[in-house]
Structure 1
Amino acid sequence: MTTSTALGAASAPPARRPLRGRPGLTLVGVAFGLFLVGLDATVVSIVNPAIAAEVGTTFVQLQWVTHSYLLGLAATLILAGKLGDRYGHRTLYLAGLVLFTVASTAIGLSTTAAGLIAFRVVQGVAAGALMPQTLAMLRATFPRERFGMAVGIWGGVSSIAIAVGPTLAGALEASYGWQSVFFVNIPVAAVGLVYGLCLLPRTSFPATGRFDLRGVVVLALGLVATVFAIVQSETWGWGDPRTLGLLALGVLVIVGFVALEGRTEARTGDALLPLSLFRGTTVGTGGLMIAANFFVLMGVTFLLPMFFINLRGATALDAGLMLLPMSAVSIVAAPVGALLVARVGTRATGALSLGLTAVGLLVLVGSSATSPYGVMAIAFVVLAMGTGMTITAGAEAIVGSAPVHLAGVAGGFQSTCIQIGGALGTAVMSAVVAAQVRSGAGGLGLDDDGLQGLAQGSVPADLDTVAARVAEDAYVSGVHAAYLVAAGLVLVAAVVAWVTLRGARRATAAEVVVETVEGEAGHA
């Protein structure tokens, strides 16, 4: 080589890396879908009264308008993660965005309860298609040393969407009607679709083996039966033979699915959910943390609007504004969790965050119809800090510890834990409130409609002063009991996290290099 050639080579400008697939731009791209999924999990609780008044739904139908979304999500998450790993995460993500937009439009145009429920299922399926791909694309584009912070921001977006949902829904419903809550999805999804087509990476990990169709069918049946039983328990009751039978069937089918996957993985290696993902305790404990976290987050978000609107007489917009501290703190909670994970590991961060969540719930136990809002706002801040940090620690335990080529499956497992935890949270906490109402107000002579209304915070107007106070106390006691159940659950999860998770994990230089190369290969 001549000197002039060497100098020319040295002075040549470095090749510019294309925008598509850059980690920061990928994080912005997946935030569109992530925000929509979280938003539509909570907005319906605020507009349910308006839907009931305009569409004429029964109480049971109104419950299904809320929960059919979770049913569609739960049935598709792990399958969608596997399809994304095989055929392309971006493809599944963008297809999910398109279907989500179509379903949102159809919901806003629906005039019957059957139409609302059916299109909410479709919306849930679309959310299930795109949700696992968000983490998978982050896992494939961010090097190991920066993945924790990416998950922190990812968790922050999710927390903000869930917490801001009631506020946004109240404002939209007051100004434009309940349909606007679903129509607002259209411009957000449209921008996300164009952005994704231009800048999201084409990540996939193609497999040459057979697709595990049997696993798909068995898992879908098990999850649908389990979630259906959980949701219907609010109507049938937890002790009803139908609830217990369907729940037992769902659990047995899921156990059978695990056994089937173990045999499939041993024979061909083509399992839908490779059990090798669960070697050790990290992924399983992360799933427990995430499920317990969303048990609290979705359960509390379901109960609080009714507490403010029906018991304290707030408007839908006022109720949304009262929940603003949760959304405001959520902006910083997940990134703070990411910093803690990087410094002290998932073990300490997970135990601390779940402990904070329990403290927030215990503060709420002191709330009543006349308690100062400031005390409740403090509880919301502590609660949001705990739930936001837990999202980060749980995601790091599940997706961060999974091999890159199983990132979609790990993301699907995490999202399934979110939905099952959320469904259990709304069902169990509502059942606790209803049981306490029946016990505490049983001597007032209320019929079923009156008791169901009281379980939602509506004290019957025809009661005298003494009876009304008894009814109000029964409802408040039920809400407190629900908070105590949730606090007990997250404290158990905190102990499990402390006992089973390893301490701080810092990626070595070799790991960062290997995983960066794997990520580059995934979107090359």
Structure 2
Amino acid sequence: MTSQTTVDAADETPDAPSTPGPAKGLRGHPWLTLFSVAIGVMMVALDGTIVAIANPAIAKDLGTSMAGVQWITNGYLLALAVALITAGKLGDRFGHRQTFLIGIAGFALASGAIGFSGSVSLVVTFRVLQGLFGALLMPAALGLLRATFPAEKLNMAIGIWGMVIGASTAAGPIVGGLLVEHVSWQSVFFINVPVGVVALVFGLVILKDHRAKNAPRSFDIAGIVLLSGAMFSLILAIIKTGDGWSWSEGKTWGLIGLSLVCFVAFAICETKVREPLIPLAMFKSVPLSAGTVLMVLMAIAFMGGIFFVTFYLQGVHGLSAVDSGLHLLPLTAMMIIASPVAGLLITKFGPRVPLVGGMLATAAAMFGMSTLEADTGTVTMSFWFGLLGLGLAPVMVGATEVIVGNAPLELSGVAGGLQQSAMQVGGALGTAVLGAVMASRVSNDLPGNWADAKLPPLSPDQLDQAASAIQLGAAPVPPNVPKPVAEQITTVAHDTFMSGMGLACTVAGIVAVVAAFVAILTKAGSNTEAGAASVHI
């Protein structure tokens, strides 16, 4: 192949150009490359939240519990998180163009398969495949940008790249609402097929292959297995506590213990192998470490908090999927408006102040959302949603520069994978941890609220079934119940749900405050402007 020959020659020639030269024609043109990768990145980022608005419809159609719905989200996020760093190394080793195109094709095919799935187990299975293929294209996109753009324009390109991710993440609920209400929940996944075809065509025509000169030549299989096992065990333990397991049970702590053992073994393994999955020396950089932790904490607060908002809008307020998405428009609009402004501020003043301010605004928004009631009006909701978008924008835009800019140049793919992996791990932890918080509060409050309303007593099994419905914002009203009794049950269900959601949002706000302190340790990377020099074309 021509691209292979070009890259190999560059690797062997010490005088290969250190910065991208002027683009000739379509292939390798910087701005067309940005446009091409943005289509793929948009598809993956959108899918992280577009499914949130479809969760109630999926749960109703497939008859699943809160844990089942969580796995539809977490299966995708976990697969992304586990595979992103490995995918970054694949791009560094075999070429970012190839991994990007394979990721696009696989993501589109897995999306179509989900639309034809008739059970939760199949949906989760194909969501995992979606995540694996999505992991291939995310760090490859960043690697292509760093290789294609001249040094003086790289910051601008990374800022736009971050803005696309942020805007797509925020736009998910609106797009999902339109599709769910006017077509079906399956259409949320089918839409990725034509978008994937467009992205694939653009990629084949425009993208030019690039590989780092000092890219890794082997893969840390033991590291991949240990890190995957550690994260899977931890998330499974947390999710199961929200689906019937107790924190006092041996099997819960057995999984947590297994996770800790795997994490420790992973850390030891990384110090022994020649080319580790995550070179631990990277974390000697305090800003890089702080940026990674910041991404995890931000995603816990954002993804965990927004997970319940869709159930609140549709279940408690009784809004349609489209109206739910429209109620989240302030969040989307503020992220789109604030992202380029945040990019300018970060370029001029550095990332520290915008990131700290963004996380404090996020914390304020989450604390505000914890005060929402079953009858809260649109204006109040819009204010808190808009403030959340304002707070998230600088973090979405700035964290990429902090992590990638402070990483060694030859590990650009690994750093890109680390940044996205941190976000996906945080998203999975957010839905799992806050889901467990919600489940615990609902289970604790429901018996007392039910008794105080003088409703007919329920057996333990009936209480469990009612709690499962309430966690999804639904009122467990049996058929043929007199209207006054149905209204009482609905009031109890909504009050109990709001108590759980309030606690979950409070926890998310506390996490955001911690993230603001972590953001103090960030600074602009010394490698960002020299990013292009690491890639020989």
- Aligned position for 1:3: none
| Residues 1:94 and 2:101 aligned together | yes
Deviates more, 1:50-59 or 1:346-355: 50-59
- Aligned position for 1:383: 388
- Aligned position for 1:242: 251
> Structure 1 residues 271 and 304, CA, compared in 2 at 3 Å: closer, same or farther?
same
Output the CA distance in 2 between the equivalents of 1:483 and 1:55. Answer: 28
Deviates more, 1:328-337 or 1:376-385: 328-337
* TM-score, normalised by the number of residues in structure 1: 0.89
Answer yes or no: is the 8 Å Cα contact 2:401–2:525 preserved in 1. no
- Aligned position for 2:266: 257
> Structure 1 residues 59 and 213, CA, compared in 2 at 3 Å: closer, same or farther?
closer
Output the CA distance in 2 between the equivalents of 1:414 and 1:15. Answer: 29
Answer yes or no: is the 8 Å Cα contact 1:74–1:227 preserved in 2. no
> Structure 1 residues 162 and 242, CA, compared in 2 at 3 Å: closer, same or farther?
farther
Query: How many residues are aligned here?
Result: 498
- Aligned position for 2:318: 313
Query: Alignment RMSD, CA only?
Result: 2.4
- Aligned position for 1:279: 284
1:501 to 514, 518, 522: 522
Cα deviations across residues 63-90 of structure 1 (Å, max 9, x unaligned)?
Answer: 3333221232222111111111111111
Output the CA distance in 2 between the equivalents of 1:216 and 1:332. Answer: 39
- Aligned position for 1:195: 202
Report the alpha carbon displacement of residue 56 of structure 1 after superposing the two structures with TM.
4.2
Deviates more, 1:230-239 or 1:176-185: 230-239
- Aligned position for 2:14: none
Report the alpha carbon displacement of residue 161 of structure 1 after superposing the two structures with TM.
1.9
Output the CA distance in 1 between the equivalents of 2:168 and 2:277. Answer: 30
Deviates more, 1:100-109 or 1:144-153: 144-153
> Structure 1 residues 433 and 120, CA, compared in 2 at 3 Å: closer, same or farther?
same
Amino acid at match of 1:221: G
| Residues 1:25 and 2:47 aligned together | no
2:509 to 487, 501, 507: 487
Report the alpha carbon displacement of residue 464 of structure 1 after superposing the two structures with TM.
6.2
**Correspondence list, 1:93-492, <5 A:** 93-205=100-212, 207=215, 209-237=217-245, 239=247, 240-264=249-273, 268=274, 270-443=275-448, 444=450, 445=457, 447-461=463-477, 463=485, 468-492=490-514
- Aligned position for 2:7: none
Report the alpha carbon displacement of residue 457 of structure 1 after superposing the two structures with TM.
2.0
> Structure 1 residues 431 and 167, CA, compared in 2 at 3 Å: closer, same or farther?
same
Cα deviations across residues 243-295 of structure 1 (Å, max 9, x unaligned)?
Answer: 3321231232122212211222xxx3x22211222122111110111111111
Deviates more, 1:39-48 or 1:86-95: 39-48
> Structure 1 residues 136 and 243, CA, compared in 2 at 3 Å: closer, same or farther?
farther
Q: Give % identity.
A: 38
- Aligned position for 1:8: none
Output the CA distance in 1 between the equivalents of 2:264 and 2:385. Answer: 37
Answer yes or no: is the 8 Å Cα contact 1:440–1:471 preserved in 2. no
Output the CA distance in 2 between the equivalents of 1:256 and 1:501. Answer: 28
Amino acid at match of 2:210: T
Answer yes or no: is the 8 Å Cα contact 2:343–2:397 preserved in 1. yes
Q: Which runs of 5+ in 2 are unaligned?
A: 1-20, 451-456
> Structure 1 residues 280 and 49, CA, compared in 2 at 3 Å: closer, same or farther?
closer
Report the alpha carbon displacement of residue 322 of structure 1 after superposing the two structures with TM.
0.8
> Structure 1 residues 165 and 244, CA, compared in 2 at 3 Å: closer, same or farther?
same
Report the alpha carbon displacement of residue 179 of structure 1 after superposing the two structures with TM.
1.5
| Residues 1:518 and 2:525 aligned together | no
> Structure 1 residues 237 and 338, CA, compared in 2 at 3 Å: closer, same or farther?
farther
Answer yes or no: is the 8 Å Cα contact 2:151–2:531 preserved in 1. yes
Deviates more, 1:65-74 or 1:303-312: 65-74
Give the secondary structure class of the aligned counterpart of 1:441.
Answer: helix
Give the secondary structure class of the aligned counterpart of 1:375.
Answer: helix
Report the alpha carbon displacement of residue 115 of structure 1 after superposing the two structures with TM.
2.1
Output the CA distance in 2 between the equivalents of 1:505 and 1:282. Answer: 8
Output the CA distance in 2 between the equivalents of 1:248 and 1:144. Answer: 46
Amino acid at match of 1:448: D
> Structure 1 residues 210 and 185, CA, compared in 2 at 3 Å: closer, same or farther?
closer
